Chains A and B, each alone.
Chain A
Amino acid sequence: MRFMLLQDYYVEGLEPMTTWAPEDAKAHIDFQNRMNDELRERGELVEAQALTQAAKTVVGDGSSPIVTDGPFIESKELLAGYRTVDVESLERAIEIAAQASAAPGPNGAPINMPIEVREVMWNSSDGL
């Protein structure tokens, strides 16, 4: 089963990482890298990507598309990154999400960021 684990880094009261102590930021980045290594080593990692915060929104009618910066400026929930994992069960995906949620923040305390777990659909079907 394949799941996408989406994280937006929005946690009430959590300051942006640019304001953290450098060693806290490094600990956080190391944690993410370690987690990816571990998932790869277990044969479960499909992809891990971080997204830039610069978002463009495009609306097109077939002729001239309208491009705007964001409409996410008001929104605090901007998708920051995702992991795709290929695992045996939903339970295992939740376990990985729980681990990611406890990534260290300022002073090494877990940031408890919400991780959304979504199953990825397959371009196949078993018969019918």
Chain B
Amino acid sequence: MTSDPQLEDLLRAAAPRVLGAVVRRFGDFAACEDAVQEALLAAATQWPAEGTPQEPVAWLIAVASRRMTDRHRSEAARAEREELSAHEPSPGPVADHDDTLALMFMCCHPSLTPASAIALTLRAVGGLTTREIATAFLVPEATMAQRVTRAKQTVKASNAPFAMPGGDEWGPRLRQVLHVLYLIFNEGYVTTSGPQLARADLALEAIRLARIVHAALPGEPEVAGLLALMLLTEARRPARADASGALIPLAEQDRTTWDAGLIAEGDALIEAAWHRGAVGEYQVQAAIAAVHDAAPRHEDTDWPEIVVLYGLLGRMTDNPMVALNAAIARAMVEGPQAGLARLGELDEPLAGHHRLHAARAHLLEMAGDDDAAIAEFTIAAERTTSTPERNYLTTQAARLNANR
């Protein structure tokens, strides 16, 4: 939006508050969203020259509201003018937090596909431009613009009210929001180069959004759990790839480069959430990440604790990927054969998945069966859809081949 990082931060933080206020006043989410984007762009060009106004949020709300009024005027010239106030909710005194959350629920509406919800959330709540989102997802701007437009149409067609879901809806809808943030985090790239690209980094954006949700809902343990999981994972980013972008597995990472500040923050979050008593999947995943992060060396990892946590997670979900990780943890405690036996049970649910073959390859190598490990690394390398992972798996097979 602008090359001034401070201004960019200011505008992006203001975006959901401005949009919330404008939607509350005019209704029509899709049109308001466009108006707010125009106001943000106007600010990005005017403020550096004319100075930042005393009340930036109020300035943006005023400009976006003017666009909405202009729009209604020009529409009214063509069609019979409807009385706006007749069918729009009256603006009431509502906390910014609630507005931002209501927006988040709207952008993560269950009628949207994950890709659409991600695009809409990044634009409407994150304040990213369509071009920035398109760049982050490596698609043309026109394609991303259509994705956002369609997403807004879908939300409109669903007649979702601009309000917090209540009653039985609350739990599932909150899970939907957290899932979208989790997906944005996972899109974060391993390699970043240059300050511009780093700013568009999706993992950091997911953390920023998760912080907003956590600030609005400090009493929801799963929100804290997700934020903790992100922080505890992000903390390892400096060690996850070498200078050429090649992946470095957890066991071989230089742990002195892990971000101690992020780890401390994540630890405190998960600790506090855990003792509130409503333990969910994100909290357990965060707890597992915390155990890894607590080990100064890989061999210091508290694997029995990780086995216990995966057992807990396995009772919450039938995701076979959890069972796969549990099998690896079990192997670290009881030896590779115990892990391999458990992987055998996953042949059906994870048939052909590269992670199953990669896990088996590691355990076979632990067991000293290099020939079988090479074969499994090779299959895993053929099956993965990630280039850095393929390169890593291919290198492992080559390494074992050279040792023969």
Contact = CB atoms under 8 A, between A and B. Distances in A.
Q: Do A and B bind each other?
A: yes
Interface of A: 1, 40-47, 86, 88, 119-128
B388 A123 contact: yes
A95 B114 CA distance: 19
Interface string B130-143: 00000001111011
A124 B139 contact: no
B150 interface: yes
A-B pairs with lowest CB-CB distance, top 7: A43-B147, A43-B146, A125-B386, A124-B189, A121-B387, A126-B186, A125-B388
A39 B396 CA distance: 40
Given A42-B146, A88-B113, A125-B190, A47 B388 contact: no
A128 B249 contact: yes
Given A41-B146, A127-B233, A46 B140 contact: yes
A48 B39 CA distance: 34
Contacts of B245: 123
A45 B388 contact: no
Given A123-B388, A125-B190, 6 more contacts: A40-B143, A43-B115, A43-B119, A46-B140, A86-B143, A124-B388
Q: Most A CB atoms within 10 A — which of B138, B247, B249?
A: B138
A124 B140 contact: no
Nearest to B355: A128
A59 B142 CA distance: 38
B188 interface: yes
A128 B247 contact: yes
B250 interface: yes
Contact of B143 (A1, A45, A127): A45
B240 A128 contact: yes
Interface range on chain B (Cβ under 8 Å from partner): 35 or more
B385 interface: yes
15 contacts: A40-B142, A43-B150, A44-B143, A86-B115, A86-B139, A86-B143, A121-B384, A121-B387, A123-B190, A124-B189, A124-B190, A124-B191, A126-B386, A127-B240, A128-B249
B116 interface: yes
Contact of B137 (A42, A86, A121, A127): A86
A124 B245 CA distance: 10
Contacts of B188: 124
Nearest to B186: A126
Contact of A123 (B114, B140, B387): B387
B306 to A, nearest CB: 15
A123 B245 CA distance: 9
A3 B146 CA distance: 19
A123 B116 contact: no
Contacts of B148: 43
Interface in B212-242: 233, 240
B144 interface: yes
A80 B384 CA distance: 27
A40 B137 CA distance: 15
From A41, A46, A86, A125, name the one whose CB has the most chain B CB atoms within 10 angstroms.
A125
B334 interface: no
Contacts of B140: 40, 45-47
Given A124-B187, A125-B247, A43 B385 contact: no
Contact of B390 (A40, A42, A121, A126): A121
Nearest to A123: B387
B389 interface: yes
A60 B257 CA distance: 42
B115 A88 contact: yes
A46 B143 contact: yes
A125 B142 contact: no
A128 B49 CA distance: 46
Contacts of B139: 46, 86
Contacts of B247: 125, 128
A103 B138 CA distance: 28
Interface string B356-400: 000000000000000000000000000011111110100000000
Contacts of A121: 384-387, 390
A88 B386 CA distance: 17
Nearest to A127: B233
A111 B240 CA distance: 49
B110 to A, nearest CB: 15
Interface string B30-67: 00000000000000000000000000000000000000
